Chains A and B, each alone.
Chain A
Amino acid sequence: MMGIFKEQKTFDIIEIMFYTYGENIFHNYKIKEKIPKGNIKIKEGLNMKKSLLVIAILTLAITGLLAQSITFWTTETESNRMQRIQALATIFQAKTGINVKVVPVQENDLFSRLAASKAAGTLPDIMEAGIEPLVLLGTEGLMDTKLNAKVINDFGDIYTGVKRLLYAGNGKYYGIPFHAWVQGIWYHKNWFSKKGLAAPISWYNILEAAKELNDPAKGIYGIVLPKKADNYSEQVFTEVALANGARPFDAAGNVTLDTPQMIQAFKFYKELGKYSMPGFTTVLDALKGYLSGKAAMIFYSTYIMDDIAVQDVQESRIHSFDPNLVKNTGFANKMINVDTSSYGQVVGLGILSSSKNKTAAEKFAKFLMTGDNYIYWLHMAPGGMNPTRKSIATNPQFLNNPVLKRYGAQKIANIIAALDNIERFDFYKGKVVTQMSKLSANFVIGKAINLMFANDWTPEQTAKWAQKEALRVLGK
């Protein structure tokens, strides 16, 4: 009786895998230009069938073993992403016999969910989240910083630029850098060359281009600058401020939002705002403005890459498709004034100190960041999710993706190279600045920018308000 039940379960797993892989790996992006010869899809399909067979045999072999179980929280909550993660969890179970319960959690709900699950005694064993929550939880003693460090060291090829952002001191880490994106200015290269403008990297060139290309009478704007009180404003302002050497905290942890460098940054931002699309614009306005050719430049993360390249995705945003947009798009991955800055976000895996099954959690973390599994995960959002391991970034299999291919190996390599220079407000002089998370959660910088434009405040007034508000929020 028991044996029949087990066999049935094995079949279910195989069925699930066929279903999920069938949905995703063979997913065909509609691209107007032809995909190069040598049909990858079929090859991938054959390989997959072989590995499924192997997996099936392995599953039969291990069903006799005691089933272990871990809980994995992920912030990738979209259904197609969940499907992929579920498929990976199923393969992991087939290989190791460890059952992974995948729980999707919105990043904004992460802390309240944690509080509830602590009370209920159902904390996860391992979670995937941005660096801010990982660091905050780490400072509360909730992360197994030693084990996270062990995984990082065992891999040995994780970029220094990304792992330092999760550094907890004494060789320990709040989390394992998993994937990352970079932010920069995406611009219509052809418009720039027509007017003889230089790439928008220095403050001077950015402002020149915005001024030159701004033509409101024709419904075309120099830029779409974030002006709302949200995270997007803070992310863009971070890049601007860091290019001027301005930071919200000094090395001693004092709030420094009203320094001359910061005031200059607000001044530049406000000046740039003159050539921006009207209204308190935000991230979707920027994306749509750029794709539909209403804005010359926008700040965006590398998540924009499939919006630019893939017909389906672009049409879902603006109901039309420009096949030449990839060719005509430039990406400025850094900004220069008195300093050079490049902003990005790292998403990490963190093993919790409260986990009762750390060996299994460690195995799962390593499974997710190895070979085909890792590439399968990263291809959930080609361009948006970039590998943090050198060996994967240079793996031809990673570049073997319709979207990434359209940009070419060189451009992808440039993007990944920028990961090594990511600068952030919450990381300074080798230390993680935990106070910054409180300011971000209260949108202090976003609110300052919003108020500056709404009330036509001077940069000095704005800086003064931001300083006061930051002190209030931090209870200083």
Chain B
Amino acid sequence: MKSYPVGTLERKTVILGWKLIAPTVIIISLLILYPAVYNIYLSFFKVSLNPAIPNQFVGLKNYFGILSDPAFWRSFWVTIAFTLITVIGSMLLGLGVAIMMNRNFYGRSAVRALILLPYVTPLISSVFAWKYIFLPLNGPLVQFLASLHLMNPGTDIINNPNNAFIVVSFFNIWRNFPFVYLMILAKLQSIPSSLYEAAEMDGANWWRKFMSVTLPELYFVIASVALLRGIWNFYKFDEVYLLSKFAGTLPIYIYDTAFAGIPHQGIAASAATILFAVMIGLITVYVKRVLKW
């Protein structure tokens, strides 16, 4: 171990370093560490709403309750499926659109801006817009499809509980592909054209160029964006809940179990801790295997 003699320049540098990062460390501890630790603490209690009644320690009861609930496991697998489908879907769509937008054509900047719309529009308005265009009888899309005899105008696609999972997944892919597109496009533009020229001299066709130049260059961007989207979609609550009460993902399960009626904060805290542990596990594996950090 390295030791620092008193008063040396090196020691002063170290102290200065600590001083400089201290505000960040303090803020992160207050805003992230404290709530996370407090959440774990709460998960061992039956939390009372009444200030006159103290919280009651229940040990691991909240955890056992959740882990032995078949509905929890059903939601867990639904969430895994939802995350996989939406991440893969939005990655493929985002990649395809990014490659198209990387070419030069007239009006490209306008189209590029338009593509971002689903991502930047406030969620509530896009949910309502979707509900509106699919409205039975009066929805514009329904009227259009009905005029082509492609569907019965009385069909209610969005509000049919059997369509919940498909509608929610489809909406999520549509809403989030622009984010993927934006990240990939940024990287695409930094790939030196000399690489493509070299590949052409070797006689590579477009597919070969895509597989041997574009994809390897994009690897880390795609992997990082997939990780981010995976984390976000695993915890996705707002749009899923706004679109349907039947989608049955984990955040909805937690909401229904813990916050319907009198809030059971202890149960909610333990569910959050379980999800946190699962996520940390998945992320660690992913970071080591895929991102190779």
Contacts and interface: CB of A to CB of B under 8 A. Distances in A.
B161 A140 contact: no
A21 to B, nearest CB: 33
Given A137-B49, A353-B50, A354-B52, A279 B159 contact: yes
Contact of B50 (A140, A279, A441, A455): A140
Contacts of B155: 278-279
Contacts of B118: none
Given A118-B49, A280-B160, A136 B135 contact: no
Interface in A262-299: 277-280
Interface stretch (B20-28, B87-95, B180-188, B253-261): B253-261
A361 to B, nearest CB: 16
A140 B49 CA distance: 7
Q: How large is the interface on B (under 10, 10 to 19, 20 to 34, 35 or more residues)?
A: 20 to 34
Contact of A451 (B161, B256, B261): B161
Interface string A82-114: 000000000000000000000000000001101
A454 B160 contact: yes
B137 A279 contact: yes
A49 interface: no
Interface in B37-63: 47-53
Interface string B246-268: 10000000001001111101000
B245 interface: yes
A280 B161 CA distance: 10
Contact of A278 (B71, B136, B256, B260): B136
A450 B161 contact: yes
B161 A141 contact: no
A229 B136 contact: no
A424 interface: no
Nearest to B256: A442
Given A115-B49, A123-B51, A279-B135, A447 B263 contact: no
A437 B261 CA distance: 6
A228 interface: yes
A441 B160 CA distance: 20
Contact of B51 (A112, A121, A438): A121
Given A140-B262, A279-B136, A229 B52 contact: no
Nearest to A294: B137
A174 interface: no
Interface in B121-175: 135-137, 153-156, 159-162
Contacts of B154: 278-279
B235 to A, nearest CB: 17
Given A136-B262, A279-B136, A228 B51 contact: no
A142 B245 contact: no
B159 A280 contact: yes
A167 interface: no
Contacts of B260: 438, 441-442
B160 A115 contact: no
B161 A447 contact: yes
A195 interface: no
Nearest to B162: A454
Contacts of B263: 111-112, 114-115
Q: Which of B47, B155, B246 has the most CB of A within 10 A?
A: B246
A472 interface: yes
Interface string A440-473: 0111000100110011000000000000000011
Given A454-B161, A454-B162, A111 B136 contact: no
B135 A142 contact: no
A447 B245 contact: yes
Contacts of B256: 441-442, 473
Contact of B49 (A114, A229, A451): A114
Give me the 4 closest cross-chain CB pairs, A-B, nearest first. A278-B154, A441-B260, A279-B136, A280-B159
5 contacts: A111-B259, A140-B262, A437-B261, A441-B261, A447-B245
